Amino acid sequence: APGIVIVGAGQAGVQAAEALRAGGYEGSITLLGDEPHGPYHRPPLSKAWLAGEMDAAQLVMRAPEMLARKGIELRTGLTVQRIDRDAKTLQLADGSALPYTGLVLATGATPRALPLTGGHAAGVLPLRSRADASAIAERMAVCIEQDLPIVVIGGGFIGLEVAATARKKGARVTVLEAAPRLLGRVLAPVLSDWYASLHRSHGVQLMLNAQVAGIEADANGVSGVKLTDGSVLPAGLVVVGIGVVANDQLARDAGLACDRGIVVDACGRTSDPAIVAAGDCTARRLADGSLLRLESVQNATEQGKSAAAALLGQDRPFNATPWFWSDQYDRKLQMAGLSTGADAWAVRGDMAGGSFSVYHFQGDRLLAVDSVNAAKDHLQARKLLDAGVSPTPWQAGDVSFDLGGLLK
Ligand code: FAD
């Protein structure tokens, strides 16, 4: 039998491959990736790795030998171009065909490109891959040496982490955010304001409500960012962090149900019983019929395991509380739950001291908790949310109240 093929050798693909073996699958497993490297960790690309505090070896997620020992065949530098579902065969970019009995799509996501004139000038760079991070690091070093400013477009997690890293390295940094506050779709207003102060206190020039009109370039590539008010911010490097688009083209071409991502159920199943999908490329159908897109290590890991189980004929729904983290300067943000729809907030701890948590409520139901340098609150929040237990906003905001007691 041809065996199981996994398209995409990232977080979700590796998890799926290992979960298949752990689940007792004895057929062949092929892990295909279009990048030149074997599986590596993406989160450090905007953090420790970009800061030069981590070497290439530490970035490796699984060494190829380790995969080989588990009987997982890793093939890198190879793009899957087409899925023929009737023949259960993949068309590869090298002209060969690869049959499958089961297929895992774990193709990730692609950064949204700047839809403006000059958006493709040299030195206007996205951040998704190791190659992207190397290009940014190289240009950042030149900017620091020549005292050229760096402009970050987009005050989301990636943009803010790059800004923090660039400041740490001594670069001049401006962050442009189109919305009136940072991370407006995920953070409570108090926390957006707190992050704005944090970045300003570290010397970032932060511009909110900033509308970019275009990129100016000369023979060396990007030279500035033009705003809609006509002003131009000089720049030797522009990092674009304005979100990602799910890589669902292969699936769409093959006629699988897609809606801003490959539509999967809680067990990672697509509309074809022989094909499952996991990670950033998916949109998960929830019980109420809505679609949830998550871009996180946890989501890729858990969906990877669920997708493997589904191919082995088992239900392993992933419905647990979502969590995420972000490192900026010496502050670790840890988020649990989804705050969409929150209408009330309580702060626990000391915002000025930089160690606290923000509890999001809808009515009296706890939706999510964002903790800054408060790992204990975060772990407890995951337990509260998993158990469906809500403190009152008053209890959440009172450090003398034992929230853990609610779980007993
Ligand atoms: P990916 O890791 O993107 O892997 C998909 C792979 O498939 C890629 O290598 C891609 O090139 C390949 N591929 C695509 N199409 C094809 C094809 N047709 N043929 C062959 N190969 C193909 N998450 C957190 O939880 N916390 C963080 O702090 C955090 N920080 C991040 C910082 C950065 C800079 C970035 C970029 C991401 C960060 N994330 C973070 C998000 C997290 O890394 C992703 O959610 C996770 O990597 C998704 O895993 P994945 O396997 O779905 O996709």
* Domains delineated in the chain: 4-110+244-311 (3.50.50.60), 124-240 (3.50.50.60), 330-407 (3.30.390.30)
The predicted pLDDT at position 109 comes to 98
Distance 13 CA to ligand 1 centre (A): 10
| pLDDT for res 195 | 98
Residue identifier of the C-alpha nearest atom 3 of ligand 1: 108
Question: According to the model, what pLDDT value does residue 310 have?
Answer: 98
Q: Is the CB of 10 under 6 A from ligand 1?
A: yes
The pick from 107, 247, 284, 321 for probing ligand 1's pocket by mutation, whose C-beta has the most ligand atoms within 8 angstroms, reads: 107
Q: Measured from the CB, is residue 128 less than 6 Å from ligand 1?
A: yes
- Using the atom order of ligand 1, give the atom closest to the CA of residue 93: 19
Complex ipTM, two decimals? 0.99
Q: Quick one: pLDDT at residue 234?
A: 98
- Please name the residue whose Cα sits nearest to atom 45 of ligand 1: 296
Give yes or no for residue 111 CB within 6 A of ligand 1: no
Atom of ligand 1 nearest to the CA of 295: 45
- The reported pTM is 0.97
pLDDT of residue 248: 98
Q: Are 364 and 376 in contact (CB under 8 A)?
A: no
- Give the residue whose CA is nearest to atom 15 of ligand 1: 107
| Dist. CA 147–CA 125, nearest whole Å | 19
326 lines ligand 1 (CB under 6 A): yes
Please give the pLDDT value at position 171. Answer: 98
For each of the chain's 408 residues, which pLDDT tens digit applies? 899 999 999 999 999 999 999 999 999 999 999 999 999 999 999 999 999 999 989 999 999 999 999 999 999 999 999 999 999 999 999 999 999 999 999 999 999 999 998 999 999 999 999 999 999 999 999 999 999 999 999 999 999 999 999 999 999 999 999 999 999 989 999 999 999 999 999 999 999 999 999 999 999 999 999 999 999 999 999 999 999 999 999 999 999 999 999 999 999 999 999 999 999 999 999 999 999 999 999 999 999 999 999 999 999 999 999 999 999 999 999 999 999 999 999 999 999 999 999 999 999 999 999 999 999 999 999 999 999 999 999 999 999 999 999 998
Cβ(132) – ligand 1 distance below 6 Å: no
Nearest Cα neighbor of 163 from 324, 46, 35, 245 is 46
What pLDDT is attached to residue 344? 95
CA of 279 to the centre of ligand 1 (A): 8
Report how far residue 146's alpha carbon sits from residue 155's, in angstroms, rounded to the nearest whole number.
Answer: 25
| pLDDT of amino acid 90 | 98
Whose CA is closest to 260, among 295, 233, 235? 295
Q: How far is the CA of 36 from the centre of ligand 1 (A)?
A: 14
